[in-house]
Amino acid sequence: MISGVFAYVIFVSAQRLIFDTDKPLINAKRFVPVYMFLTSMIIALVTIKKGLKHVGLHLTTNEAVLVSVVISALVMAFGYVYIGRKYKDDSASENGYQGVERVFSLLMVVTACAMAFAHGSNDVANAIGPLSAIVSTVEHMGQVAEKSTIAWWILPLGGIGIVVGLATLGHKVMATVGTGITELTPSRGFAAQLATASTVVLASGTGLPISTTQTLVGAVLGVGFARGIGALNLGVVRNIVASWVVTLPAGALLAVIFFYVMKAAFGA
């Protein structure tokens, strides 16, 4: 729901500021760098506050915000210069929606990086969290520690695992999210990606373990709702929601079954 609201607001703002104007390409060159600023701000702020403390760099909240604003301002300035030079032609043929979508396709590179960052910061932790707890329990001879430490080899294992999973089976999920729910263009994809990255990164920063895939689906639904209910493939949406409902009890039931199987096998 959070990512859906974010995506709705971002997409509607792009519609009103850029697409529903007399000269959308000119307005795209004006406002797209602002979206680049927002994206960079989210990545930089969370990286500084949550990531760099592990390498010995501790900044206060005000210092982190200041550094993030400076970095994002540089990215925004680069965006103004790059987009202005690349799209100098403001003729009628280039000032339509197709030209605007090409500008947003550049912005999607930034949001794709944000999505990759968010995906790794959240979903890998969901997988290796239980593993790190198990390893810590084994190292403490079966005693559950109040705070488990993460072994050095677990993080690389999680990174390799998510890459292998995405490369082998991820294409099915990509096809469903990218084409099955609603028709996506670069501008719509940007809104969904920025909303997802913002939600997941903020959740990771607060320690909330959420699903990146479900968050992205919510963002795509938000973009679809912004275009009207008719823009959504309700059959696919129904199947996705049904799978969400089934997943939790199915996972819990399988965990119970595996627990008793292992208890019977090892006599614990």
pLDDT digits (tens, 9 = 90+) for 11-45: 899 889 988 888 888 888 888 889 889 888 877 87
* pLDDT at residue 257, as a whole number: 96
Angle between helices 97-139 and 186-206 (to 10 degrees): 30
* pLDDT at residue 8, as a whole number: 92
* pLDDT at residue 53, as a whole number: 62
Give residue 47's domain range.
2-119+170-232
pTM for the full predicted model: 0.74
* pLDDT at residue 92, as a whole number: 44
CB atoms within 10 A of CB 89: 10
User: Does residue 108 fall inside a structural domain?
Assistant: yes
The secondary structure of the chain in percent helix, strand, coil, rounded to multiples of 5, reads 80, 0, 20
DSSP classification of residue 17: I
Work out how many domains the chain is built from and give that number: 1
CA distance 124 to 88: 42
Write out pLDDT tens, residues 128-182. 888 888 888 888 776 766 666 778 888 889 889 888 988 898 888 888 877 888 8
User: Does residue 209 fall inside a structural domain?
Assistant: yes
* Average predicted confidence (pLDDT) for the chain: 82
* pLDDT at residue 241, as a whole number: 84
User: Does residue 163 fall inside a structural domain?
Assistant: no
Write out pLDDT tens, residues 185-212. 888 888 888 888 888 777 766 777 778 7
* Residue entry with tokens 């677990």: 154
74 pLDDT higher than 90:
yes
CA-CA-CA-CA dihedral for 117, 118, 119, 123, to nearest 10: 120
Write out pLDDT tens, residues 88-141. 665 544 555 677 888 888 778 777 777 777 777 777 877 888 888 888 888 877
CB 241 within 8 A of CB 201: no
Q: Which residues contact 25 (CB under 8 A, 6 or more apart)?
A: 87, 90, 94, 95, 96, 99, 100, 103
DSSP result, 45-99? HHIIIIIGGGGT----HHHHHHHHHHHHHHHHHHHHHHHHHHT---STTTSSHHH
Per-residue pLDDT, averaged over 209-232, amounts to 83
User: Does residue 264 fall inside a structural domain?
Assistant: no
Handedness of CA 51, 53, 59, 60 (dihedral sign): positive
* pLDDT at residue 49, as a whole number: 67
User: Does residue 239 fall inside a structural domain?
Assistant: no
User: Does residue 127 fall inside a structural domain?
Assistant: no
238 pLDDT higher than 50:
yes
User: Does residue 22 fall inside a structural domain?
Assistant: yes
User: Does residue 93 fall inside a structural domain?
Assistant: yes
